[in-house]
């Protein structure tokens, strides 16, 4: 649908439903009213401009209600309807090319609300596959895509109907009437009618193939309905195909990845700059969270690891409740979500601004390995993430051997194995809307332009490692950057502005 037509349609539907003049008459003023004592005429004018907010409401930000978040015609920051429509079309094409079946029905559910305690929900986070295809931020919704033998396509959104009482408590819903124009789908239906709709479909299309990701669906009713209607054993998961699309970022997605990485880089720089001995991990967590949000992020993308001293040797340490003492390092693994896209950065720094000798030795080894691994990604088309992991083990092994932490006798596979004891996690994962993005995509496929991945080697030496000289025990380090693969064997290190050079790091933290 033409975009201007789309907005006109919204305007018409809205005025019809709510008897308001038009969407544009109700746009919230971008600037607050001036406080300089104006003439009565200007005062009246200002009053008129500033109030009231539009009585219309949607289940999520829209350009008319949130002009500070969304540009004209955008459904999500940076994205207009045609991008979502193109994604849905691409998925239907992929599904058709994957099997002999001619008729297909894809069912993609939203997430549901999760509760922290009685009636108190956690911050809602949408199912990213559903969000990628629909742009819809509401819970308890379902998107269906159909294609018949003649290639006719149909896209339907099942949404929560308007409900005055429920909306009083949980906020507005977009509702069945507005959903087709807001999300650019052919039809919208009350989610309560999903069972009837699917039953009718299964009678009308007995050979239709049903695609549904049972594992990722937390809407119990929907799982049961699809199970009853689609005979679950014949149902296939579309997750792998959706992830195939999500793996390669579009221009807009690349731009959002750049922004989310910049926001988190800056936040971590500020956090490092303001860190001092005797601060708690909890306070450093609060700082990085604050700086990310002030930079425009919605929230941190995951519970960060803020680990002082030997806590850094626990890879998923998230207690973040210890005091960081003078002479210790801090390992911070944090990232934010900006416009639905995620950054994932790790930096390790000395809390007092100066690495001790053993800390410096390990930091230099790790920084060298990380730099060389970034170089390896410039063989785009050949390198895979699993190969990058093997390369890390060998390089880490070699350098740890040089500083005397691995016996000189270790060679080849044995050397790699010895290094794995120092870094028992993978060196990379894909990154995008989720931190561990597109998890159904194998890490043994060649990297191609448009992919984003992390590069995160680490060195962790437990306090009980008797095979390592005492001064190195209890040290844990990781350096993690986010990388966009570009054409022509080029890469863009999206987190480049986050300080990691040893000297710059010491200067930043010590305030020199």
Instruction: Please state the closest distance from residue 138 (CB atom) to Mn ion, in A.
Output: 29
Choices 50-58, 337-345, 379-387, 397-405; region in contact with Mn ion by CB under 5 A: 337-345
Instruction: Please state the closest distance from residue 83 (CB atom) to Mn ion, in A.
Output: 27
Q: In the complex with Mn ion, which residue's Cβ is closer, 253 or 344? A: 344
User: H/E/C letters for each residue in 372-404?
Assistant: HHHHHCCCCCCCEHHHHHHHHHHHHHHHHHHCC
| CA neighbor of 249 nearest in space, from 492, 83, 452 | 452
Q: In the complex with Mn ion, which residue's Cβ is closer, 83 or 344? A: 344
Q: In the complex with Mn ion, which residue's Cβ is closer, 265 or 352? A: 265
| CA neighbor of 184 nearest in space, from 395, 9, 414, 364 | 9
Is 260 among the residues that bind Mn ion (CB under 5 A)? Answer: no
Choices 13-21, 154-162, 382-390, 451-459; region in contact with Mn ion by CB under 5 A: 451-459
- Sorted by sequence, the CB contacts under 8 Å of residue 253 that are 6+ apart come out as 341, 432
Q: In the complex with Mn ion, which residue's Cβ is closer, 182 or 330? A: 330
- Sorted by sequence, the CB contacts under 8 Å of residue 54 that are 6+ apart come out as 20, 23, 26, 27, 28, 64, 65
Helix H or strand E segment including 155: strand 153-159
Beta bridge partners of 341: 338
- Sorted by sequence, the CB contacts under 8 Å of residue 403 that are 6+ apart come out as 361, 362, 365
Instruction: Please state the closest distance from residue 333 (CB atom) to Mn ion, in A.
Output: 7
Is 344 among the residues that bind Mn ion (CB under 5 A)? Answer: yes
Instruction: Please state the closest distance from residue 60 (CB atom) to Mn ion, in A.
Output: 28
Size of the site for Mn ion (CB under 5 A): 2
Q: CA-to-CA distance for 271 and 26, rounded, in angstroms?
A: 41
| CA neighbor of 248 nearest in space, from 90, 98, 428 | 90
Q: In the complex with Mn ion, which residue's Cβ is closer, 144 or 495? A: 495
Instruction: Please state the closest distance from residue 10 (CB atom) to Mn ion, in A.
Output: 40
Instruction: Please state the closest distance from residue 121 (CB atom) to Mn ion, in A.
Output: 27
Q: In the complex with Mn ion, which residue's Cβ is closer, 352 or 428? A: 428
Instruction: Please state the closest distance from residue 250 (CB atom) to Mn ion, in A.
Output: 22
Structure tokens given for 427:
């060196």
- Out of 141, 311, 370, 454, which residue is the one contacting Mn ion (CB under 5 A)? 454
Instruction: Please state the closest distance from residue 413 (CB atom) to Mn ion, in A.
Output: 26
Cα-atom radius of gyration of the chain, to the nearest Å?
26
Choices 5-13, 256-264, 382-390, 454-462; region in contact with Mn ion by CB under 5 A: 454-462
Q: CA-to-CA distance for 220 and 194, rounded, in angstroms?
A: 13
Structure tokens given for 321:
């409740």
Is 343 among the residues that bind Mn ion (CB under 5 A)? Answer: no
Q: In the complex with Mn ion, which residue's Cβ is closer, 144 or 391? A: 391
Which residue ranges make up the site for Mn ion (CB under 5 A)? 344, 454
């Amino acid at each position: 649908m033409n975009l201007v037509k789309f907005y006109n349609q919204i305007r018409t539907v809205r005025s019809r439903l709510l008897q308001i003049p038009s969407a544009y008459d109700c746009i919230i003023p971008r600037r607050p009213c001036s406080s300089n004592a104006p003439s009565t005429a200007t005062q009246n004018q200002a009053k008129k401009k500033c109030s009231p907010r539009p009585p219309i409401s949607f289940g999520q930000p829209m350009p008319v209600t949130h002009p500070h978040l969304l540009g004209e015609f955008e459904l999500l920051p940076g994205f207009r309807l045609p991008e979502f429509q193109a994604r849905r079309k691409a998925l239907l094409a992929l599904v058709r090319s994957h099997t002999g079946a001619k008729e297909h029905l894809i069912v993609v559910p939203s997430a549901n609300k999760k509760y922290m305690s009685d009636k108190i929900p956690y911050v809602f986070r949408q199912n990213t596959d559903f969000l990628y295809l629909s742009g819809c931020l509401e819970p308890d919704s379902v998107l269906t895509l159909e294609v018949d033998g003649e290639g006719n396509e149909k896209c339907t959104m099942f949404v929560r109907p308007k409900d005055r009482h429920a909306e009083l408590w949980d906020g507005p819903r977009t509702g069945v009437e507005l959903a087709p124009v807001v999300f650019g789908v052919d039809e919208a239906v009350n989610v309560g009618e999903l069972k009837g709709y699917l039953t009718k479909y299964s009678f009308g299309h007995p050979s239709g193939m049903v695609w549904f990701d049972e594992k990722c669906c937390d809407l119990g009713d929907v799982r049961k309905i699809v199970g009853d209607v689609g005979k679950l054993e014949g149902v296939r998961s579309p997750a792998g195909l959706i992830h195939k699309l999500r793996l390669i970022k579009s221009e807009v997605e690349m731009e959002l990845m750049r922004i989310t990485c910049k926001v988190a880089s800056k936040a971590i720089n500020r956090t490092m700059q303001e860190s001092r001995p005797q601060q708690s991990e909890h306070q450093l967590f609060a700082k990085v969270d604050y700086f990310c949000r002030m930079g425009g992020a919605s929230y941190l993308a995951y519970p960060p690891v803020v680990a002082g001293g030997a806590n850094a040797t626990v890879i998923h340490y998230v207690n973040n409740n210890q005091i960081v003492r003078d002479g210790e390092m801090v390992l911070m693994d944090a990232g934010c979500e900006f416009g639905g896209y995620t950054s994932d950065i790790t930096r390790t720094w000395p809390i007092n601004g100066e690495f001790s000798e053993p800390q410096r030795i390990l930091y230099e080894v790790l920084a060298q390995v990380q730099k060389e691994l970034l170089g390896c990604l410039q063989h785009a088309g050949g390198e895979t993430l699993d190969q990058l992991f093997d390369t890390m083990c060998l390089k880490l092994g070699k350098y740890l051997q040089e500083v005397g932490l691995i016996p000189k006798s270790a060679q080849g596979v044995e050397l790699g194995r010895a290094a794995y004891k120092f870094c028992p996690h993978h060196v990379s994962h894909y990154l995008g809307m989720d931190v561990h993005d597109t998890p159904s995509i194998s890490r043994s496929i060649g990297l191609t332009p448009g992919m984003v991945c992390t590069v995160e080697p680490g060195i962790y030496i437990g306090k009980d490692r008797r095979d390592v000289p005492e001064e190195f025990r209890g040290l844990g380090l990781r350096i993690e950057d986010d990388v966009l693969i570009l054409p022509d064997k080029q890469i863009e290190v999206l987190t480049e502005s986050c300080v990691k050079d040893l000297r710059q790091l010491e200067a930043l933290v010590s305030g020199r």
